[in-house]
Chains A and B, each alone.
Chain A
Amino acid sequence: MSIEVSHLRKTFGAYTALDDVSLSVKPGQLTALLGPSGSGKTTLLRIIAGLEFADAGSGAVRLDGEDVSALGPGQRGIGFVFQHYALFRHLTVFENIAFGLTVRRKRERPSRAEIAERVNRLLGLVQLDGLGQRLPTQLSGGQRQRVALARALAIEPKVLLLDEPFGALDAKVRKELRRWLRQFHEEVNLTTLFVTHDQEEALEIADEVVVMNNARIEQVGPPQAVYDHPASPFVIEFLGNVNQLTAGTAKPSARAAADAAKQAVEGKVTSDGDLLYVRPHDVDIRREPKSTHAIPVKVLHVFAAGNTGRVALRRLDTGEAFDAELSRVRLAELGLHQGDSAWVVFRHVRLFPKGQFYETDVAED
């Protein structure tokens, strides 16, 4: 079942949460709505769910081609999972999962035996066999979120919507659960849309990533495409670590780097104040200036703890500081120490003419 959203606008007083947003989610895909807090991603999800309504006369939400804009959340055939689980504390896990079935009108309600059978099957699906009689407070955070998922699935929704589903969990559980969600998605193949502010999470498990900023969609595409070909400075800064350097204040070697950037961004002429982006893993450190593009640098600090090595550097031509990331093996080969002189070559750079895309700060919550 596809999700289609066209020209949505949502304002809260003077604040604009969504500004003419259109989006199309293909059936059966796991799609991430990614953005900093306040970017409008949760509002968009809630409007799709029917928990919030777009400004009057501003577009529509279609599920499988059918306009559901006027329907309440219960009539849309969606399953919604909240960040803080929103489990009913006075009900057992079993009763929580069965809730959506037991509130149905008598004619549509499955029999007791059918409900029990379905709940038990769901308990198995979310790997909580035998915990049906527990109360939510007797479960861990990860378990609670899986109960919430099972509860949403019990009504056999056509679309699954998750609002920061791992946001309240600690780092380790978070990682486990998101891999599990990916696997789970392969099994049930339900059109799923989840909101996250964690780019790592989005890039790791989503089929498609929708990057939002300032009430608008910045870019839509598969994880690798948005990571490798970011459409704006915001996207490149939000997805992964990146060094931002000025392209224009160039001495010869920096000029050479900017020339390389020109190839990446066709038709854009380098000038003073343009923004040049280099991923730390695209910085190649050398002991000798073997390339004409090589830039002289000074080593400020070497961080060797962790699974990759990180080196803080300062360009000798412009004086800008930036980071490089390289394998521990390569770091050992280079034998770098604080205060050493070296050369770097940027393997891949992106250049954005100043002011054209870049308008906001990136804020994490």
Chain B
Amino acid sequence: MSTAAPVIATRRIIPGFGLTLGFALAYLGLVVLLPLSATFIRSADLSAAEWWAAVSSPRVVASYRLTFGVSLLAALANVVFGVIAAWVLVRYRFPGRRLVDALVDLPFALPTAVAGIALTALYAPNGWLGAPLAKIGPEGIKVAYTALGVWVALTFIGLPFVIRTVQPVLEELEPELEEAAASLGATRLQTLWRVVLPALRPSILTGFALAFARAVGEYGSVVFIAGNMPMKTEITPLLIVTKLEQYDYAGATALAVAMLVVSFALLLLINVLQLWSRRQGQ
């Protein structure tokens, strides 16, 4: 008689855990981690001092500031606009609602270069919007070839994320919650602020994270409208492309690694925030 070994593996009702996890990890490894690790390895061609010099030159640091700072502002703008747009699309029935709903995804489908060219034409000093804007105030508001232009482009490409993450949650939100608040004497604004928004918070954070991540990595739509002036309107992805064009592969990957690390840290931070927010909401 053999002694009965303690049963460690519990039986799962839903089969295929091992298989699906294995597949997911293999896929993630192949599609995401392998190229990323290649970046790390390539940038290791540089010595530590060279690496540091490459990622910390003033021109590069200025580009970080622009990339991350403006991406953050663009994602924030999309949060405000996205929540309002999702609200309109979910709560009201109006002619053309489906059309508006379909328009939301357009920035996803459009090649980013097309977006960049269109925005530049629009906001250039002689463009439809650029010309009237230039007449406002003593200095005139300049959009194209400034950080403001970068913000416009990044807001454009990040637009669908918040809408698409908030929309389904808002649809699922029971109208009784708002009715309960109203019956307890809350004003519409109080109901929105204290009942609806807290319920949407996790999805807003998700949308924010997606919009932010997308903005940080954006290249095509920005390079046209930014004007790419060193120290002023140069984004980090542009610097990477510039280095590649000069056959400075190691330098380019060094920058890529720096960007990756910062992006990863920020996304991790947002994830932690989300976890916290979800705990609050349950």
The reply on B32 being an interface residue by CB < 8 A is no
Residue contact A86 to B177, C-beta cutoff 8 Å = yes
The reply on A82 being an interface residue by CB < 8 A is yes
Residues of chain A at interface, number, CB under 8 A: 28
Nearest B residue to A46, CB-CB: B179
Q: Give, as a whole number of angstroms, the nearest-CB distance from B240 to chain A.
A: 42
State in angstroms the CA–CA spacing of A84 and B172 once bound together: 14
State in angstroms the CA–CA spacing of A90 and B281 once bound together: 4
Q: Pick the interface stretch among A70-78, A260-268, A281-289, A334-342.
A: A70-78
Residue contact B199 to A73, C-beta cutoff 8 Å = no
Given contacts A86-B176, A86-B177, A103-B194, contact A51 B282 (CB under 8 A): no
Given contacts A86-B174, A135-B282, contact A72 B184 (CB under 8 A): no
Nearest B residue to A49, CB-CB: B183
State in angstroms the CA–CA spacing of A73 and B175 once bound together: 14
Partner of B176, one of A84, A90, A152: A84
State in angstroms the CA–CA spacing of A75 and B187 once bound together: 11
The reply on B280 being an interface residue by CB < 8 A is yes
Contact-size category for B: 20 to 34
Nearest B residue to A157, CB-CB: B183
The reply on B133 being an interface residue by CB < 8 A is no
The reply on A172 being an interface residue by CB < 8 A is no
Residue contact A51 to B179, C-beta cutoff 8 Å = yes
State in angstroms the CA–CA spacing of A88 and B190 once bound together: 13
Residue contact A74 to B183, C-beta cutoff 8 Å = yes
| Chain B residues, Cβ within 8 Å of A135 | 282
The reply on A223 being an interface residue by CB < 8 A is no
State in angstroms the CA–CA spacing of A151 and B201 once bound together: 24
- List B44-87 residues whose CB lies under 8 Å from chain A: none
The reply on A80 being an interface residue by CB < 8 A is yes
Given contacts A74-B186, A99-B186, A103-B190, contact A90 B198 (CB under 8 A): yes
| Chain B residues, Cβ within 8 Å of A87 | 180
The reply on B181 being an interface residue by CB < 8 A is yes
Residue contact A103 to B184, C-beta cutoff 8 Å = yes
| Chain A residues, Cβ within 8 Å of B280 | 90
The reply on B185 being an interface residue by CB < 8 A is yes
State in angstroms the CA–CA spacing of A72 and B181 once bound together: 12
Partner of B185, one of A84, A104, A148: A104
Residue contact B190 to A89, C-beta cutoff 8 Å = no
Given contacts A86-B176, A88-B177, A103-B190, contact A51 B182 (CB under 8 A): yes
Residue contact A74 to B180, C-beta cutoff 8 Å = no
State in angstroms the CA–CA spacing of A152 and B201 once bound together: 26
Q: Which residues of B contact A (CB under 8 A)?
A: 174, 176-177, 179-187, 190, 194-195, 198-199, 201, 280-282
